[in-house]
Amino acid sequence: MDHQPKFFENLSGSGKAIGVLTSGGDAQGMNAAVRAVVRMGIYVKAKVYFIYEGYQGMVDGGDNIVEVSWESVSSILQIGGTVIGSARCKAFRTRAGRLQAAYNLVRRGITNLCVIGGDGSLTGANLFREEWSGLLEELAQKGKIDEEAVKKYAYLNIVGMVGSIDNDFCGTDMTIGTDSALHRIIEVVDAIMTTAQSHQRTFVLEVMGRHCGYLALVSALACGADWVFIPEYPPEEGWEDTMCVKLSENRARKKRLNIIIVAEGAIDCHNKPITSEKVKDLVVQRLGFDTRVTILGHVQRGGTPSAFDRILASRMGVEAVLALLEGTPDTPACVVSLSGNQSVRLPLMECVQMTQAVQKAMDEGRFDDAVRLRGRSFENNLNTYKLLSQKKPDAELPKSNFNVAVLNVGAPAAGMNAAVRSAVRVGITEGHKMFAVIDGFEGFAKGKIKEINWGDVGGWTGQGGSILGTKRTLPGKFLEKIAEQMRTNNINALMVIGGFEAYLGLLELSAAREKYDEFCVPMVMVPATVSNNVPGSDFSIGADTALNTITDTCDRIKQSASGTKRRVFIIETMGGYCGYLANMGALAAGADAAYIFEEQFDIRELQANVEHLTEKMKTSIQRGLVLRNENCNENYTTDFIYQLYSEEGKGVFDCRKNVLGHMQQGGAPSPFDRNFGTKISAKAMQWISKKLTETYRKEEGKVFANTEDSVCLLGMRRRNLVFQPVTELKKETDFVHRIPMEQWWLKLRPLMKILAKYKTSYDVSDSGQLEHVAMHSPKEAETGAI
């Protein structure tokens, strides 16, 4: 970055008062957002107030508006719903109600509001802001406040955060609560799949989403459902026949179960509702299949927030406070939101108008527009689902005469199987013959390679580990044999799904092209490793699942201390030299410190941490959590830190240590990893097809690719998916420690420290500019966004 970093130290909140409220339907992660707003507000020396029961509390005043302290938000990070309550409020819809609310705020000097809720709540907040000066004048006329107060509190600043499990708000990739709701849905689907398999049943699952099909679509993509009904993309005329034909074909292919997902707001192309009961009756009448309906209902709103939602909400909460501090009378009300992995600020009303435009498009039957208005991410999900869910009859498939091999390399990571399934199915759709290599490069050298078909990868999305088998062995010592296998099986392209070893492997293969023509074929790598240490990508498949495992375990460990007096836990995470898991795990679990290799520390820092915890234990907070990356320092081992803390904390707190180990690599993949794996892999396969066509030499009848850009890594960079030649990534890699030289998440480190009450400096250069909601072209959905 060539700009001068801008730090928030010069943004002081002293003299300012911030009110935080949650409104509308609850969503998991709201508490994390509330906690971040309170702590960041107090950190910048502002006063922070809870407004209980949403707008109702603002109108009622009294005990509903309370100043809070740092400890008020301790231990709420892992609780679902909202601890400050949420209510629908009729009074606030009237001017008289808003007048009373304004009076209650002015009495406490609150002129900054942070509203966490859906589009209705945010629209209400904007109206309140526009009427503010009029309301104050009316209060002054009635003699309730004096003229000085009118001048002093002349304008109201509003920042919104979208808390909604439906992900129905335009302008943001993910709303707070969506990822957790997907976790609930996928847990249920995984459980239902085992019973459906036993009885050869068809299950119709109804998920939430009255006006938005996001949850239905993404869960269908994540579990490989046979059919999905969503409001934005109604099925074509005669869908009943098409669906029944598809279901019976699947049964004929020995598939023992069918899953159909219905969004509660699903409609047909005449805007008539499609209910789960209607779908069930249709299947029973036409096919006679044993069919059951499961309506998930409010389960989706409940439970503990996922790691993603906690981190998202914490980032948004801090960003919201910064936006309030920078607000002027001319700043429009804004929402803080997420684009790719970047926080952005968008004008609130632009987002609301676009969200309403989607509904209008659906009402008018312009369904293509509705899908496009939902944004790139939604459109991509839909296109990928259509690509993977239905196999075209063999007669309709193109014949490319190309053979493509898929292999897993490195340690197992949850989501690898979803990526393989996606690659195989997209490859078959593009007309290629797909081959699976068993046990990585080592298996390749031994000739463990077989053709793999559409049906062979059914049901793979929810399986953890690597079904194909994976090894860390590099191809360097087997080059001769691998080249021979590629010749024998006539392999024209390679897709490697794996971690740092996969990246090193592709570097070795591309270097061996001079000697072996067999390696002059398109090769692509999709990053999959729990460590998230692959250069060229901000995320890798498997890291989200590992992060959730760490977060869940930390929650349990923290709970185990609730009966004990004053205890500190030292927890060791995996990741090699990469501190991603330790750092993000600390942010999601509300830890006091995280020791990582990327940020060197010495005995003085360890000492300062112990003193910090000792101070903390004098308050009402009685437990501490410290995460340590396995390779952060060769001398300050987990045992050393444990012994140091035990000795220094004598008489104040006692200590326990946990090494999480291989549980971080196991388990069923999280919805994020299934989806990320599915989408990134589909895109990689389409790139392979394009490269094969470009590099095919007709006269010789073979593929010949020896340019640098024919060996690529597909990674997520900020807001886009990009193909990068592996040789170009060499200069970004620290090969000794197997990590990228620059890592985006290090910017979030100060966030963790601020929320744990450390003084630190936080570079806010990336935030602060108000962007506009962009309406993208259909072409854009194909490039880039996830």
Cα 275–chain centre separation: 29
Helix (H, G, I), strand (E, B) or coil at 597: coil
**C-beta of residue 109 within 8 angstroms of C-beta of residue 17:** yes
Is pLDDT at 764 greater than 60 in this prediction?
no
Average pLDDT over residues 577-583: 97
The pTM score is: 0.94
191: pLDDT confidence band, cut at 50, 70 and 90?
Answer: very high
- Give me the phi and psi of 73, to 5 degrees please: -110, 15
376: pLDDT confidence band, cut at 50, 70 and 90?
Answer: confident
Average pLDDT over residues 555-574: 87
Helix (H, G, I), strand (E, B) or coil at 598: coil
Q: Please tell me the number of Cα atoms within 13 Å of 407 on its side-chain side.
A: 33
Q: Among positive and negative, which fits the CA dihedral 109, 114, 116, 120?
A: positive
9: pLDDT confidence band, cut at 50, 70 and 90?
Answer: low
Q: Enumerate helices (H) and strands (E) in the chain, giving the number of each.
A: 25, 26
**C-beta of residue 595 within 8 angstroms of C-beta of residue 632:** yes
d(CA 325, CA 770): 14
Burial classification of residue 776, based on how many CB atoms lie within 10 Å of its CB (0-12 exposed, 13-18 middle, 19 or more buried):
middle
Between 64-68, 549-553, 676-680, 751-755, the lowest mean confidence (pLDDT) is in: 751-755
d(CA 181, CA 212): 14
Q: What are 98-128's pLDDT values in tens digits?
A: 999 999 999 999 999 999 999 889 999 999 9
Instruction: Give pLDDT, residue 3.
Output: 41
Going by their DSSP bridges, the two strands 334-339 and 342-347 should be labelled as antiparallel
Instruction: Give pLDDT, residue 782.
Output: 43
Instruction: Give pLDDT, residue 760.
Output: 73
Is pLDDT at 8 greater than 60 in this prediction?
no
What does the CA dihedral 704, 708, 710, 711 come to, rounded to 10 degrees? 120
d(CA 540, CA 677): 9
d(CA 163, CA 82): 10
Laid out side by side, the sheet with 449-451 consists of 449-451, 433-437, 403-409, 493-498, 523-527, 711-717, 720-725
Helix (H, G, I), strand (E, B) or coil at 643: helix
What does the CA dihedral 336, 27, 57, 107 come to, rounded to 10 degrees? -20
Nearest to 406 by CA among 375, 438, 442: 438
> What per-residue string of b and e applies to 624-637 under the rule 16 or more CB within 10 Å gives b?
bbbbbbbbbbeebe
Catalytic residue among 26, 60, 119, 166: 166
d(CA 623, CA 628): 17
Q: What are 328-360's pLDDT values in tens digits?
A: 888 899 999 888 778 889 999 999 999 999 999
Q: Fill in the DSSP letter of residue 295.
A: E
Single-letter amino acid, residue 452: I
DSSP codes joined into one string, 211-243 = S--HHHHHHHHHHT-SEEE-TTSPPPTTHHHHH
Q: Which residue has the tokens 């002349």?
A: 154
256: pLDDT confidence band, cut at 50, 70 and 90?
Answer: confident
d(CA 185, CA 173): 19
Q: Fill in the DSSP letter of residue 176.
A: B
3-state secondary structure 623-641: EEEEEEECCCCCCCCHHHH
What does each C-alpha distance from 9 to 12, 13, 43, 343, 762 come to in angstroms? 7, 10, 10, 19, 8
DSSP codes joined into one string, 445-464 = HTT-EEE--GGGGTT-TT--
Instruction: Give pLDDT, residue 284.
Output: 96
Instruction: Give pLDDT, residue 619.
Output: 80
d(CA 106, CA 97): 14
d(CA 564, CA 109): 41
Instruction: Give pLDDT, residue 777.
Output: 45
Q: Where are the alpha helices (DSSP H) in 492-542?
A: 500-511
166 is catalytic: yes
d(CA 583, CA 629): 8
Q: What are 615-655's pLDDT values in tens digits?
A: 888 888 788 999 999 999 999 999 999 999 999 999 899 99
Q: What are 472-499's pLDDT values in tens digits?
A: 999 999 999 999 999 999 999 999 999 9
Instruction: Give pLDDT, residue 360.
Output: 94
Instruction: Give pLDDT, residue 2.
Output: 41
Q: Return mean pLDDT, the chain.
A: 92
